[in-house]
Chains A and B, each alone.
Chain A
Amino acid sequence: DQQVKQNSPSLSVQEGRISILNCDYTNSMFDYFLWYKKYPAEGPTFLISISSIKDKNEDGRFTVFLNKSAKHLSLHIVPSQPGDSAVYFCAASRSSNTGKLIFGQGTTLQVKP
Chain B
Amino acid sequence: DSGVTQTPKHLITATGQRVTLRCSPRSGDLSVYWYQQSLDQGLQFLIHYYNGEERAKGNILERFSAQQFPDLHSELNLSSLELGDSALYFCASSTRGQVNEKLFFGSGTQLSVL
* Chain B interface residues (CB < 8 Å from chain A): 2, 4, 31, 33, 35, 40-45, 48, 50, 55-56, 58, 90, 92, 94, 97-108
Contact = CB atoms under 8 A, between A and B. Distances in A.
A45 interface: yes
Given A36-B105, A91-B43, A99-B33, 10 more contacts: A43-B105, A43-B107, A44-B43, A44-B90, A44-B105, A97-B56, A98-B55, A100-B33, A101-B45, A105-B41
Interface residues of A, number: 27
Instruction: State the main secondary structure of chain A at its contact with B.
Output: loop
Contact of B56 (A36, A98, A106): A98
Shortest beta-carbon contacts, A-B, top 6: A43-B105, A103-B42, A103-B43, A46-B102, A105-B42, A99-B97
B76 to A, nearest CB: 15
A103 B103 CA distance: 13
B2 A105 contact: no
Interface of A: 4, 6, 32, 36, 41-46, 49, 51, 89, 91, 93-95, 97-106
B97 A98 contact: yes
Nearest to A2: B42
